[in-house]
Amino acid sequence: MSGTSLDGIDAVLVDLSQHKPLQLAKYYLPFDDALKNVLLALHLPSHNELHQTQIIGNQLASLYAAAVAPLLAQAKSSNQEVKAIGCHGQTIRHCPEHGYTLQIGNAALLTELTGITVVSDFRSRDIAAGGQGAPLVPAFHDQVLRHPNIHRVIVNIGGISNLTNLPPDTATTGFDCGPGNLLMDAWCMQHLGKPYDGNGAWAASGTVLPALLEQMIDEPFFALPPPKSSGRDLFNMAWLQRKLKGTERAEDVQATLLELTCHSISQAIQNQCGGAKEIYLCGGGAHNQTLHDRLAALLPDFSVSTTDVLGVDGDYLEAIAFAWLAQQALQGKSANLPLVTGAKHSCLLGAVYRNH
């Protein structure tokens, strides 16, 4: 998995033979700044972008393969023992309103480099059926994190934040809430030269700017009812710059961005997850103590913890989910949730590039 945060590749080896996934090994391969910058640039129209997209897709496939080798070595496993790789690819455009989404990573080359069957392009079939193509992970949450008697909400805080609503005896729902880490990370890099604000310490040193927060919350996306999804196509630095006067203290903007993330998540839970008792965080944002504490303050009637306490590694939960999605594809089972994505019906997700 390499997501909207553009930080790097999460690779995980999972045994899916039992109901609960067994994580056998994990490996993280960071992106260098040059690759991050190229990927960011590909989100916008530019000269020769088609050629550049293909070249970077090949580069990503090589990096994905480079993450597989140490992962297998760690588990003392061979590629022959692996049924498939579930590879989401790197999203550079997500435009379900125009009927398409684009993740790059050259799955055919990844199959060639690893000698392992690859399942990729998980979103397109759902979009073809009238859905958003995202979020896809709620179907996995439904399988492994649901409780028969307790109403849980799973909140993934990556570049974009999304939630999964798991009410007992009722169908699972889920949707994107808004920006997770991507604006905070970009602002931190611009002003501190750091890829992220460790534990939200810089944000904690600032003061929330109510007028700026109000401008951000006025974004029509937040008022849309589910199903809905988003990404860098909407929430990006150009979006933020349009909201700024230019006289704000940088740390106050960071504090306001953190408040936006927390506000959008808490409002989504209060508006769409009535009766919930437990909230479990996963993704990179789960490590941000300032964010965690602020969410708990905004949601005093809920317990707020991480998915780690449920036995699922929050840092690698999304990567585990795409292993499960790959398994669903190979077994010929539908894996989208129409209530989540808005698709007209259930679909088989993923394109399969078989090694043999």
What are 92-142's pLDDT values in tens digits?
999 999 999 999 999 999 999 999 999 999 999 999 999 999 999 999 999
DSSP H or E run through 13: strand 8-15
Point out the least confidently predicted range of 44-48, 59-63, 107-111, 302-306: 44-48
Report CA-CA distances (Å) from 182 to 3, 92, 158, 323, 350: 10, 14, 8, 24, 26
Q: Compute the average pLDDT of residues 217-238.
A: 96
Q: Is 92 helix (H, G, I), strand (E, B) or coil?
A: strand
Q: Is the pLDDT of residue 5 over 90?
A: no
Average pLDDT, whole number, for the chain? 96
pLDDT above 70 covers what percent of the chain?
Answer: 100
What's the confidence (pLDDT) of residue 19?
85
- Please state whether beta strands 100-104 and 90-95 pair in parallel, antiparallel, or not at all (unpaired): antiparallel
Report CA-CA distances (Å) from 239 to 148, 233, 235, 319: 41, 10, 6, 29
Fill in the amino acid letter for 77.
S
What pLDDT digit, counting tens, does each position of 143-180 carry? 999 999 999 999 999 999 999 999 999 999 999 999 99
Single pTM value for the model:
0.95
Q: Compute the average pLDDT of residues 18-32.
A: 95
DSSP 262-299: HHHHHHHHHHH-TT--EEEEESGGGG-HHHHHHHHHH-
Fill in the amino acid letter for 213.
L
Burial class (CB in 10 A: 0-12, 13-18, 19+), 212: buried
What's the confidence (pLDDT) of residue 4?
87
For the chain, how far is it from start to end, CA to CA, in angstroms?
Answer: 24
Structural domains in the chain, CATH included, are 8-133+319-353 (3.30.420.40), 146-310 (3.30.420.40)
What's the confidence (pLDDT) of residue 356?
84
Going by the DSSP 8-state scheme, the letter that residue 99 receives in this structure is T
